[in-house]
Amino acid sequence: AVVLPALLVFWLTYRNAAALASKSEGASLRVANKHFALSVFDRLMMARVVLERGDSLEANNFRGAPFFSDVRDLSTAQLQPLIRLGSMTNGGLVILGQDGEPPRVALVRITKRPLGTTFRVGTIDSNFLWGDSDGPILGGQVCVLSGDVQLMCVGSNPTIADERLVHDKWELFIAPEFGSTSWRFQAKRPKQLYFGEYAGLIAPVGLGMLLLALLLSSIEIRRILVPLEDLVGRLKRVGGGGAALSVEDRDEFGTLDHAFTEMESRISDQILMLRTLREIDQLILLREPLIKVVDVVLRHIQSISASSALAMSLRTSTGSQAVRHFVRLHIGDDTTSRQGADPMADRGASLATPSPVWQCSNAIGPGFSEVELAGVAFLTIGAEEGPFIRVAIGQQESASALLDRMSLSSESVAELAERVAVAASAEAHETRLIFQARHDLLTSLPNRLAVLEALPSYIKHADAFSQSFATLFIDLDRFKAINDGVGHQLADVVLVEVSRRIRAAVGPEPLVARLGGDEFLIVVPKAGDAKGAFAVDQSVRQALISPIVVGDQQFKVDFSAGIAIYPDDGSDPESLMHNADLAMYRAKRGGGARTAAFESEMNSSATKYAQMEKDLRSAIHNSELFLHYQPRVDSRTGSIVGAEALARWEHPRLGAIMPDEFIALAEECGLISEIGALAIDQACGQLAQWKQSDLILPRLAVNVSS
């Protein structure tokens, strides 16, 4: 009467506990297998982003580590024999390796090259794709298959009978992203023995100890509950639990279910956090605006806090945007994200120093003025030298009540804030690079690229309102003498001062740029004709009247300038700048220190000048220049005492070109030294011939430019 109920209770307890433990073990294996599959998918996505970023690089210049073990550019004939599974028609993912070889996972990008279509094949590094060789399943193994091809087995293969294993299969659909067949993740690991080792003791112990039935029942129940309590403890440790159980939770099976639920919740939170961090990293790699990165962070915090008003404030030490506030508001059915006003009315006190724990405040600022809030919880992250990042969460309830029910730790916020700091740093670096690409490093004025980018907007505005504007091309006179006389360092100081005076003289509206060397360009939007441009020219000349003092030296700087008016003197940026340049050269050839307006005949003069320069270069290269020798005679004796070598140019089409014309041209275009070297070479050769002919010339003079 006592033994049978005890045995029945024992059997029912054993059966229910074993079933619950087996179910929990299968669910745990499913979670681990699914997590491993999703992590492999995330690594494939990361590898594809890296491969796409290298489209502009040659394969041998591509640095794919640690994502790729090999990156090559192959033709169709080279790639086709290597493919074991997959298609190269539209790129995507293929499996490489012939029968008998280990399969290799590769990403294919179709690229257009001058010599035809090629395929950029990036073989993904197995250590990166599959992760730790010990495997994601403790004591078990995961095998990944694509169709009938086994790609990889990670972990240790259990060497026990199949009925003593727990199995799980997860199908990963990758066709939408990579155009390949699905991958099957097949996981297995040994079952826990649980209580089976004790089952054989029930009958003999029950039959042999009838007189001790109550004691036997007590012992057997204890032998069941001790391993069950150990299992509950292990699950709690995996799940990160450890809180004391309430009275109603003392039941072991309820505790087991509670521990597993807690573990699953924590794993889900961690997976959500990892996905958020991955999304942020992708935005940083793609150089997306900072507000997109901040919005992802605020969206993640909102999903945890369920708050209708969130904000992130970023304070840097320098810059025009030293403090920026990003606000996310949920009003009704609409959610808006924008850069706005400070959500806290504390005059920046909460952004002055970092605070490692959540704090509460009732100082609600204009950034949260659109919603009714009772308080704000905030956390400020950052080193003492900055930057500081403050996260503010508003709620209709009190801020302290929000903190009591919110599971968002300061460590999680710090990890998200670090990503925002990286994105802000990358944005600042890119801004500096853009500024450096469009500005002169010496004077910080816009450069030629910035002018060419800005002129189309001036043209568009002028066309829209039927207006004109002027371009004033400035070239400093004889600045080369200053550069050569005092050196580049002092000459740069003079250039900086000239730039400052020009900028101050024309006012804030005109565009002032340094094109290079001693050349400047001024775009005057409200100068409808040459008269307005001449007025700006006079303002600049007036600003440069007083000498520039550098140390104990004074420099008087003047300039030549040319004016071109849109649309009369040019309909596009290039023609406007070119024609203003031509007008400037007309002014410089007129003696300098003057300004000339563009005239249409200057184009023909410039064309003739350019052709003459081209012909002169050809004449020097082909030795078309030759020397005439003018003798020097002693008037007393009538004997020749020397000669002077004179350069002459017989143009094949224009005939004889006068020395004063081509010598001046050579000085302007920098060919005078080559002509001097040619004259010396020919004169020495002629003198040697005369000497061989017993014609002795005491002296031969050759004029060269210094």
Number of H helices, E strands in the chain: 19, 26
Alpha carbons 297 and 319: distance in angstroms, whole number: 24
Residues of each domain in the chain carrying CATH 3.30.450: 269-435
Partner residues linked to 85 by β-bridges: 95
Parts of the chain with a pLDDT under 50:
1, 206, 242-248
Tell the residue number behind the tokens 């596009």, with chain if given: 572
User: Which pLDDT score is estimated for 472?
Assistant: 95
Q: State how far the alpha carbon of 551 is from the alpha carbons of 94, 499, 548, in Å.
A: 70, 18, 10
User: Which pLDDT score is estimated for 240?
Assistant: 55
Pick the CATH number of 269-435 from 1.10.10, 2.60.40, 3.30.450, 3.30.70: 3.30.450
Residues of each domain in the chain carrying CATH 3.30.70.270: 440-599
What CATH number belongs to 440-599? 3.30.70.270
- Of 284, 279, 282, the closest CA to residue 423 belongs to 284
Would residue 404 show up in a list of annotated catalytic residues for this protein?
Answer: no
CB-count burial class (<10 Å; 0-12, 13-18, 19+) for 31 = middle
User: Which pLDDT score is estimated for 441?
Assistant: 92
The model's pTM? 0.49
Taking only the tens place, the pLDDT of each residue in 213-272 is 667 667 767 767 666 676 666 556 555 554 444 444 555 556 666 776 777 677 777 788
Residue type, 122: G
Given a contact cutoff of 8 angstroms between Cβ atoms, the answer to whether 213 and 6 are in contact is yes
Q: State how far the alpha carbon of 5 is from the alpha carbons of 11, 14, 219, in Å.
A: 10, 14, 15
CA 130 from centre of chain: 27
Active-site residue (options: 518, 537, 581, 615): 518
User: Which pLDDT score is estimated for 245?
Assistant: 44
Crossing angle for the helix pair 601-621 and 672-692, to the nearest 10 degrees: 40
610-702, what's its fold? TIM Barrel (3.20.20)
Alpha carbons 357 and 349: distance in angstroms, whole number: 16
Alpha carbons 70 and 60: distance in angstroms, whole number: 10
Alpha carbons 46 and 40: distance in angstroms, whole number: 10
Helical spans, DSSP H, in 62-166: 76-79, 126-130
User: Which pLDDT score is estimated for 247?
Assistant: 41
Alpha carbons 54 and 60: distance in angstroms, whole number: 11
User: Which pLDDT score is estimated for 223?
Assistant: 67
- Of 512, 487, 488, 508, the closest CA to residue 499 belongs to 512
Residues of each domain in the chain carrying CATH 3.20.20.450: 610-702
